[in-house]
Structure 1
Amino acid sequence: MTKLIRLLLLVGCCLSTATVAEAQISTSGGIPDETLLNRYGLTLSWWGRSIIDGKRDTVLFVTADEQNIYMQSSSGILTTFNGETGRQLWSTLVGSPDQRGFPATTNDEQLLVTGGMQIYSFNKDTGDLLWQLRSPEHPSASPSINESQVAIGAIDGSVFAFDLRKVRELHDERMLPRWTHLAQMWRFKTPLATVSPPIFTGETIVFASEQGIVYGLFSENKKLKFQFETDVRIETPLGSSREEILIISEDSRLFCINKDNGRTRWTFSSGAPMRSPARVIGQQVFVAPTREGMSCIHLKTGLLLWEQPRAIEFVAASETRVYASDLNGNLLILNRGTGEKIGQLQLRHFNKRINNERTDRIYLANESGMVLAIREIGSEYPSFHLYPERRPILPLLVPEEGEEPPMKDGAVKAVAPADEEAKENPFEN
């Protein structure tokens, strides 16, 4: 009996040692081990560190668009990386140190950042200051920008729209931010604070009030186009796709409405509060009700496709996979069609995670300023989800006579019957 107990203890020690060894090999100096990533068809694209004062500073916000990664620290330092190469493009102190701010927002050329009452616009590739506005009231969320306007939501319920051309003229004449009011196009007042950045869509601008009302206005003259009302408050930021607005109300319901006319397409009830905005990838909507895991819903019908009880936060998605966080900070790898777990990576130290609706890249960061970029093996060029037309046109390399065309790393040559049609991604239709 004594020998049996000793044998069991020895086996237990060996298993414990193996578990510790696996945990240690998963990170090397905080960077995931490439062998472990490769096991799940992933690779570390790059890693970097933002400019930060390690003694008193922490990373507050990490955001991304199709080109760059933007890291904002608690002291107001903004660091920009190229999303594909990891090259640090520029860094700057936005406004005065330790001012209240919100996550950065961008369009094709400009990056907007708030610092107290000030709105700063930078060339997102060079860091040059393009202009600076003073918000008439304290902002309640990040500003929004399109090709012709800047919109700012405020804590008093106001939404202000500014003419971008006039803003640039005033900046060139060195009249900003003092004469900001000369560029103001209109002001629209709602009962309570706006809960998220206004959304530009064509000739319409859409925003929500905490009172539970979503407004759709003509962006040029603030004429009311539609008004959508819920029965309770709205405190979760709006989600959106190319044609839809996703609204989460405090009674645990998700509404999908048309961007142009506000008509309800469908309603989904989760049975639990949803504190993060709905994320849209192709024809799938991802929401994470509190303590209920993550749900995948069909964008056009509102039907529940699958549930994954371990996932609590959407991180990224490729054509066949979804990446999500669990309660322990692990990065879950899920089958996009069924929600079944494929594997997980122990990356709890990287707790700042971009909810990437733009591309298939996985971006993770921590409060001390380290950022990682992970991609699937063979995916040298990112897939663009929200704006596929923004993907750069790649040169077509024509092979010489008798040569095989070049293939991506990790690709497998397949021979199909001549009459077989190319299959489309089933999740995009």
Structure 2
Amino acid sequence: MMPTLWNSTAVRRGFALSLVWMAAWSSSAVAQGEGQLVTRELAASKGLERAWFAQIPVDANRSRVTTWYLYFDRLYGVTDSGIITALNAETGEQLWARQVGNPGHAAFGPGANSDFISVVSGGRLYMLDRHTGRVKWIRELGSAPASGPALSNTTAYVALMTGRIEGYNLKDPVAEPWYYQSKGRTFLRPTVTGNVVSWPTATGFLYVGHADDPGVMWRMQTDDDIVTSPAQQSPYLYIASTDGYLYCLNEMNGQEAWRYSTGYAITSSPAVVGDMAFVASFEPALHALDSQTGQGKWVAPGISHFAARGKERVYASDRMGNLLILESATGRPVCRLPVAEGQETLVNDQSDRIFLVNDHGLVQCLHEIGVNEPIMYRQPVAPPAASDKPVGDETPAADAAAPATQPPAVAPAAEEDASPFSEEPAEPADAPAGDAAEDDNPFDTF
């Protein structure tokens, strides 16, 4: 298959369309945020501060944000029209915004590491510089993608509709991809956690391989489907299943350390924060466990998913999107913070920050009063040695963008930004290749 080249006319047309919808966005962005913010007074009554809020570029008449993705110091929003926007997760400043793929086409992902951010759109894998949003390279996938990509320090992993997983070398995009044919299809993107990459399939299998040296190490099968991504805290991998169990396995060999039964199906991803693991069951309840032993600490009913862990409090959400505040030690409810319709909390197992987001592009960051510096519970995986980094990945001086309240510019994926490749990989085998509104009546208690 010959490399696919971009048509410069199409690029110019896409740029013009970007200007048109940007004008529409700038005139409606303020209106979108009206009545959606948690007021400072309401936050303070719950022991919280609203640190910042931001509105990323979304044409409300045409598109929605489909994915919010937190990667330590960056928060990314991806729309169904192919716009990806990067925010500073601590200040809310917009760092860059980029049209990826053909305008109006959905983008799936993203996946990120310390150097790159990646999405899938229109059967292609797009690799962008994480600091600038500049497209580094584009590669045709071997088949129709089933989800967005996941990145380790060396490899981009993409799940295909056939159940095949492909791995692309980040520094050599023309190299033939590594691949593995899984048993059963997968509809979740692979997950890179620490030293391993993993992906579940519809047949209840979880496959686990080396993150930076592609190859499957082991697999496990539960008694029912796995429909959520696993969590990790070295040396363990935490897997939730619709059989109602949370499994804790050694990430390198698959040996089971413990399992915990919630009594109901688990359809949301677990979170491991410090010495505690959190998992929400379908019959809404949040279970808090000792992350090392699996011993249950407490169960809080009426909670649909975990949001964040502060110094002495745990934050979660109910099915209506309200922010629930619990005592960390006992799970006892402290109070509830009502939020505007359409707002939901982002799961954050990396720091104590609470992020409220919606599909119109509005994001708010809350934290406990007085905790001005974030409490970090984990750090990103160490990047390659400095001498091995691609040229031009340093953060430019202009990376500190305009204030979040100003309409940002969106850059199209220009022809000279990318070097697209479309080498067709070998056929799959049965075995692996190689081996809020201002609210004057908040609810103070349950």
After TM superposition, the score normalised by the length of structure 2 is 0.73
Residue 55 of structure 2 aligns with an amino acid whose one-letter code is: R
Residue 141 of structure 1 aligns with an amino acid whose one-letter code is: S
Structure 1 position 40, deviation (Å): 2.1
1:129–1:66 Cα change, 3 Å: same
- Could you tell me which of 300, 304, 323 is aligned with 1:331? 323
Gaps of 5+ in 2: 1-32, 383-446
- Could you tell me which of 52, 56, 62 is aligned with 1:56? 62
The answer to whether the 8 A contact 1:365-1:371 is kept is yes
Post-superposition CA distance 1:82-134 (Å, at most 9, x none) = 11111111112221234344332211121111213122122222211122222
1:355–1:317 Cα change, 3 Å: same
1:321–1:184 Cα change, 3 Å: farther
Q: Name the CA distance, whole Å, in 1 between partners of 2:87 and 2:273.
A: 24
Residue 61 of structure 1 aligns with an amino acid whose one-letter code is: T
Residue 370 of structure 1 aligns with an amino acid whose one-letter code is: L
Structure 1 position 200, deviation (Å): 4.0
Q: Which has the larger radius of gyration?
A: 1
The equivalent residue for 1:87 is 93
What SS class does the counterpart of residue 352 from structure 2 fall into? coil
Tell whether 2:392 aligns with 1:386. Answer: no
Structure 1 position 222, deviation (Å): 4.8
Q: Name the CA distance, whole Å, in 2 between partners of 1:165 and 1:198.
A: 20
Count how many residue pairs are aligned between Structure 1 and Structure 2. Answer: 350
1:359–1:153 Cα change, 3 Å: same
Structure 1 segment 109-258 matched on structure 2, within 5 A: 109-167=115-173, 182-200=174-192, 204-218=196-210, 222-258=214-250
What SS class does the counterpart of residue 166 from structure 1 fall into? coil
1:63–1:269 Cα change, 3 Å: same
Structure 1 position 70, deviation (Å): 1.0
1:76–1:389 Cα change, 3 Å: closer
The equivalent residue for 1:102 is 108
Residue 148 of structure 1 aligns with an amino acid whose one-letter code is: T
Structure 1 position 267, deviation (Å): 1.1
Give the superposed CA RMSD.
2.2
- Could you tell me which of 229, 252, 259 is aligned with 1:260? 252
The answer to whether the 8 A contact 1:295-1:307 is kept is yes
Q: Name the CA distance, whole Å, in 2 between partners of 1:55 and 1:334.
A: 38
Q: Name the CA distance, whole Å, in 1 between partners of 2:50 and 2:215.
A: 49
After TM superposition, the structure 1 stretch with the greater mean CA deviation from structure 2, 338-347 or 349-358, is 349-358
Gaps of 5+ in 1: 1-26, 168-181, 391-429
1:247–1:355 Cα change, 3 Å: same
- Could you tell me which of 256, 260, 284 is aligned with 1:292? 284
Structure 1 position 299, deviation (Å): 1.1
The equivalent residue for 2:348 is 356
Structure 1 position 56, deviation (Å): 2.1
The answer to whether the 8 A contact 2:109-2:119 is kept is yes
Q: Name the CA distance, whole Å, in 2 between partners of 1:203 and 1:278.
A: 18
Aligned-pair identity in percent equals 28
Structure 1 position 374, deviation (Å): 1.0
1:380–1:350 Cα change, 3 Å: farther
Structure 1 segment 311-326 matched on structure 2, within 5 A: 311-326=303-318
After TM superposition, the score normalised by the length of structure 1 is 0.76
Q: Name the CA distance, whole Å, in 1 between partners of 2:196 and 2:79.
A: 33
Residue 343 of structure 1 aligns with an amino acid whose one-letter code is: C
Residue 233 of structure 1 aligns with an amino acid whose one-letter code is: D
Q: Name the CA distance, whole Å, in 2 between partners of 1:352 and 1:119.
A: 29
The equivalent residue for 2:302 is 310
Structure 1 segment 2-81 matched on structure 2, within 5 A: 29-81=35-87
The equivalent residue for 2:421 is none
1:109–1:219 Cα change, 3 Å: closer
The answer to whether the 8 A contact 1:308-1:340 is kept is yes
Structure 1 position 202, deviation (Å): 6.3
What SS class does the counterpart of residue 38 from structure 1 fall into? helix
